[in-house]
Chain A
């Protein structure tokens, strides 16, 4: 079995799906011979040619709007938006067209579209290249939002997204792109959208996280006292998220800490916290804690490490929840 990083695993999934289904089209800025600014689409242009790997004009709304038309006419476009900060111009197309088309046509005109977007901070990028906007799209009905963290999950979830009959935003934590490798099967496999994953089992407290923050959570778990048993959940899908797995875990542990890189107010942590108290109220031993980005702009990179969630802050929240 090959040992791949996140970039290679996503590339492999794209390559295999394009091979399998000639309706799959990759399009975006610099995705052709250049292979994308993160090299995620490397080699695809050479293998599949101009018609299926399209270097588009520099216009995000144009990319998504055109991809929507392709999807309406039975292609399976996989547009790339170069950085999450550039999703803004495409917001109207995503929310008012991709997300609405099935419903407003009562199933007549559907949009099987997978929008790939590098997301999050931690790579010393320029301004507007480090945001975490997943909650904005989770709040918009009609579009699924996925954020895998590991190469294995990314391959399986991307294949599911491409085969999904509805639009999916596929966020790729860019801090993880080349940070580690793991074994990824050569054969195609899928991971269902909407299923979270228990990274490690435990009985005393549940940590729920997604994206690059997973690694700060793992570090915090490593630092926790030996007699504390913590369950760590990687959400993987942001919308619809796996509330059943969270509830089952919190009913067992009685304590919950939600960790995300995005700003706090109206972040997905708020939704999870609210649903935990709705579903697990009588099991809770402590208030649900949140460890999140601040309600500030994501700072330029000299201060980004201070902004990003770290193991110490996660550790403190765990301590507080346990001591309550």
Chain B
């Protein structure tokens, strides 16, 4: 028998607003209103300043390790614009702060979290998101399950989950893609391909030409977009959200972007990155590009930008003050948060901790044999 073709596929690439500020009217028309574009630019600017301030906080000992989002703001805001806060879910990694704020998370939560306080992950009830996820690539499975719950309840709500290029090497990534597909879970897998997983470049991370093609194996609609282009991201996202709301299951978006900062404040990317590569990506900064777009539409000018930068500074200062103004958590909380009701042994250990750490009189605890417990 002659050989035949069992499967063919191609991956579309979408770019609407390029780095020179050139705009594709045909694809981009009606995607983002002027008012929305202004709002996204402001949000990206505030996030950038939050990042810069966070870096200083870490360097001056006021905050622990922090991962900057710098350079990836467009992928965050362009995708979140397609979601409905309070209804749709976000299952994040940790480099899409701007999306979380658009979904309603108060900004100081993120700082409070990186300042070492779990209450920064105590997501308010009206915000549909899971906390930042530090283990790489394991949280997308939760998106599959969260989406499944929405599907069988018969809502039209969708789940957006974010992850980097390195995460797509993890087994759980593939299991999440497979489960979401098979279960027709309304999930949008948003890959922020920023080229680097700490020090490991994309071409050492995978032998595939694109990240987007990994979705083909799971029968999932997939596309690659310019991740620094709010329009291209929104375009792909609208498509994916529409399918998910219509019960057609998950989609995949590879947003090609770049991590302009270090992996975290504990990293020094100069050890492994070519400065020329970084320079080239600075020119593709999503903030510069969005500003050029607004200027071309006579929506923006230097005076307005100066005002915005000042306002962003004020907002960030207030956010930092709020995060730093929160009192230290009570030690009891580590015991009380373990289960809905702490069990007998946890209560005993909590009381022991009180007596040993806080210097209370052991006889006040009502414990027997306290001498060997304290």
Query: Distance in Å from the Cβ of B282 to the closest Cβ of chain A?
Result: 35
Contact status A56-B179, CB under 8 Å: yes
Query: Distance in Å from the Cβ of A10 to the closest Cβ of chain B?
Result: 23
Choose among A57, A71, A96, A104 the residue that contacts B138 (Cβ–Cβ < 8 A). A96
Q: Which residues 12-60 of A sit at the B interface, judged by CB distance below 8 A?
A: 25, 51-52, 54, 56-57, 59
Contact status B131-A102, CB under 8 Å: no
Query: Distance in Å from the Cβ of B81 to the closest Cβ of chain A?
Result: 23
Q: Does B143 interact with chain A (Cβ within 8 Å)? A: yes
Q: Does B193 interact with chain A (Cβ within 8 Å)? A: no
> In the complex the two chains form, what is the Cα distance from A38 to B367 in whole Å?
46
Known A-B contacts A75-B149, A92-B135, A106-B119; A69 and B340 likewise in contact (beta carbons under 8 Å) = no
Known A-B contacts A105-B123, A243-B345; A69 and B142 likewise in contact (beta carbons under 8 Å) = yes
Q: Does A74 interact with chain B (Cβ within 8 Å)? A: yes
Q: Does B213 interact with chain A (Cβ within 8 Å)? A: no
Contact status B123-A61, CB under 8 Å: no
Q: Does B52 interact with chain A (Cβ within 8 Å)? A: no
4 additional contacts, CB 8 Å, given A89-B171, A144-B339? A62-B178, A65-B142, A67-B145, A278-B369
The number of residues on chain A lying at the interface, defined by a beta carbon within 8 Å of a beta carbon of chain B, is 48
Known A-B contacts A66-B145, A69-B141, A69-B143; A279 and B369 likewise in contact (beta carbons under 8 Å) = yes
Query: Distance in Å from the Cβ of A183 to the closest Cβ of chain B?
Result: 30
Chain A residues whose CB sits within 8 angstroms of the CB of B178 once the complex forms = 57, 59, 62
> In the complex the two chains form, what is the Cα distance from A142 to B343 in whole Å?
11
Chain A residues whose CB sits within 8 angstroms of the CB of B118 once the complex forms = 103-106
The number of residues on chain B lying at the interface, defined by a beta carbon within 8 Å of a beta carbon of chain A, is 45
Q: Does B94 interact with chain A (Cβ within 8 Å)? A: no
Contact status B340-A54, CB under 8 Å: no
Chain A residues whose CB sits within 8 angstroms of the CB of B369 once the complex forms = 278-279
Contact with A along B276-318 (1 / 0, CB 8 A): 0000000000000000000000000000000000000000000
Choose among A66, A93, A109, A165 the residue that contacts B130 (Cβ–Cβ < 8 A). A109
Known A-B contacts A103-B337, A243-B345; A69 and B131 likewise in contact (beta carbons under 8 Å) = no
Q: Which residues 174-200 of B sit at the A interface, judged by CB distance below 8 A?
A: 175-176, 178-179, 182-183
Q: Does B256 interact with chain A (Cβ within 8 Å)? A: no
Q: Does B90 interact with chain A (Cβ within 8 Å)? A: no
Pull 10 A–B residue pairs with CB atoms less than 8 Å apart, ordered by A: A56-B179, A65-B175, A69-B146, A69-B148, A70-B146, A73-B149, A89-B171, A96-B135, A104-B131, A108-B121
Chain A residues whose CB sits within 8 angstroms of the CB of B152 once the complex forms = 25, 51-52, 75
Q: Does A135 interact with chain B (Cβ within 8 Å)? A: no
Q: Does A240 interact with chain B (Cβ within 8 Å)? A: yes
> In the complex the two chains form, what is the Cα distance from A77 to B145 in whole Å?
10
Q: Does A208 interact with chain B (Cβ within 8 Å)? A: no
Query: Distance in Å from the Cβ of B84 to the closest Cβ of chain A?
Result: 16
Contact with A along B334-372 (1 / 0, CB 8 A): 100111100111100000000000000000000001001
Q: How many A-B residue pairs have CB under 8 A?
A: 146
Q: Which residues 149-182 of B sit at the A interface, judged by CB distance below 8 A?
A: 149-150, 152, 171-172, 175-176, 178-179, 182
Q: Does A72 interact with chain B (Cβ within 8 Å)? A: yes
Q: Does B333 interact with chain A (Cβ within 8 Å)? A: yes
Contact status A278-B372, CB under 8 Å: yes
Contact status A66-B179, CB under 8 Å: yes
Contact status A62-B119, CB under 8 Å: no
Chain A contacts to B: CB under 8 angstroms = 25, 51-52, 54, 56-57, 59, 61-62, 64-75, 77, 89, 92-93, 96-97, 102-110, 141-142, 144, 164-166, 194, 240, 243-244, 278-279
Contact status B131-A109, CB under 8 Å: yes
Choose among A62, A69, A104, A141 the residue that contacts B121 (Cβ–Cβ < 8 A). A104
Q: Does B82 interact with chain A (Cβ within 8 Å)? A: no
Q: Does B227 interact with chain A (Cβ within 8 Å)? A: no
Query: Distance in Å from the Cβ of A115 to the closest Cβ of chain B?
Result: 14
Chain B residues whose CB sits within 8 angstroms of the CB of A89 once the complex forms = 171
Contact status A66-B149, CB under 8 Å: no
Contact status B131-A66, CB under 8 Å: no
Q: Does B17 interact with chain A (Cβ within 8 Å)? A: no
Choose among B172, B179, B343 the residue that contacts A240 (Cβ–Cβ < 8 A). B343
> In the complex the two chains form, what is the Cα distance from A142 to B125 in whole Å?
22
Contact status A62-B131, CB under 8 Å: no
Contact with A along B117-141 (1 / 0, CB 8 A): 0110111110000110001001101
Query: Distance in Å from the Cβ of B369 to the closest Cβ of chain A?
Result: 7
Chain A residues whose CB sits within 8 angstroms of the CB of B172 once the complex forms = 61-62, 65, 92-93
Known A-B contacts A56-B179, A142-B338; A109 and B138 likewise in contact (beta carbons under 8 Å) = no
> In the complex the two chains form, what is the Cα distance from A194 to B341 in whole Å?
12
Choose among B123, B125, B147 the residue that contacts A69 (Cβ–Cβ < 8 A). B147
Contact status A68-B338, CB under 8 Å: no
Choose among B131, B138, B148 the residue that contacts A70 (Cβ–Cβ < 8 A). B148
Contact status B149-A70, CB under 8 Å: yes
Query: Distance in Å from the Cβ of A129 to the closest Cβ of chain B?
Result: 22
Q: Does B144 interact with chain A (Cβ within 8 Å)? A: yes
Chain A residues whose CB sits within 8 angstroms of the CB of B144 once the complex forms = 62, 65-66, 69
Chain A residues whose CB sits within 8 angstroms of the CB of B346 once the complex forms = 240
> In the complex the two chains form, what is the Cα distance from A144 to B179 in whole Å?
26
Contact status A107-B145, CB under 8 Å: no
Choose among B146, B176, B340, B345 the residue that contacts A166 (Cβ–Cβ < 8 A). B340
Chain B residues whose CB sits within 8 angstroms of the CB of A67 once the complex forms = 145
Choose among A59, A141, A278 the residue that contacts B175 (Cβ–Cβ < 8 A). A59
Chain B residues whose CB sits within 8 angstroms of the CB of A57 once the complex forms = 175, 178-179, 182
Which chain B residue lies CB-closest to A97? B138
